[in-house]
Chain A
């Protein structure tokens, strides 16, 4: 048997519902298997740890062929809100946690949660704009220090 994975660092860079869930599921799943996990939020992915935005994340209906609707239709005002509502209902039915609950839970599992300094500077965010679970706004160098000895997954 190959060596088991003992540590993962997962980067979440996208600010849509479907862009954030996979990274959260992988981090939570890693902890459930006893694997050390760190989450690093960068660029639009930072919405998932932003006090005002984390409960309002939406599904992308434009530029998303997986939605199986034409781009012009996806661009109609309200389409993204509607798709988000539909998906949120499905997610709830499957008994998946919402993004805020998921981030809180992952933090409780002992996973590290970090924000990207370059992105925070770009958007003008400070620690006060981010949720309490965020352990720090760190540089890319610090990220590599934290990720040392483990696998890195970019989403």
Chain B
């Protein structure tokens, strides 16, 4: 676990760069993580997915997988891969400041 300066704020991250404490997250932190992952501009659709991931995580304690995201977030699997080309579930979780989704599907 290391401390990292994101958007002028000290946050705790794991070795893969996922936030350890979801409460240290805010929109500026999200933008900073997104930039590091090659997404320069978080659009409304990006934020729709990110906010959905956060609310699911807060409610259930786990991040939704790609199949669930495609079915329930209002953004299709195809669009998810256009928004987050390097792996939607993983990347959206990282930007949303929640742990990496765990599971094989």
Question: Interface of A with B (CB < 8 Å)?
Answer: 25, 28-29, 31-34, 95-97, 105, 108-110
Determine if B105 and A31 form an interchain contact, defined as CB atoms under 8 angstroms apart.
no
Chain A residues near B54: list those with CB within 8 A: none
Indicate with 1 or 0, residue by residue over B50-70, a CB within 8 angstroms of chain A CB atoms: 000000000000000111101
Contact present for A32 and B66 (CB under 8 Å):
yes
Question: Smallest CB–CB gap between B14 and chain A, Å?
Answer: 16
Residue contacts A-B, CB under 8 angstroms, 21 given: A25-B104, A25-B105, A28-B105, A29-B104, A31-B87, A32-B66, A32-B88, A32-B90, A33-B87, A34-B86, A34-B90, A95-B68, A97-B67, A97-B105, A105-B67, A108-B78, A108-B81, A109-B66, A109-B78, A110-B78, A110-B81
Distance, CA A32 to CA B68, complexed state (A): 13
Which of B76, B78, B89 interacts with A32 by CB under 8 Å? B89
Partner of B77, one of A25, A34, A109: A109
B74 within 8 A of A: no
Of all chain A residues, the one with the shortest Cβ separation from B85 is: A34
Closest B residue, CB atoms, query A32: B87
Contacts of A109 in B (CB 8 A): 66, 77-78, 81
The minimal Cβ–Cβ distance linking B33 to chain A, given in whole angstroms, is: 15
B78 contact set on A, CB distance < 8 A: 108-110
B90 touches A33 (CB 8 A): yes
Given A31-B81, A32-B90, A33-B90, also A108-B105 (CB < 8 A): no
For residue B77, which residues in chain A have a CB less than 8 angstroms away from its CB?
A: 105, 108-109
Kindly list chain B residues whose C-beta atoms are within 8 Å of the C-beta of A25: 104-105
Whether A105 pairs with B104 at a CB distance below 8 angstroms is no
**Closest residue of B by beta carbon distance from A28:** B105
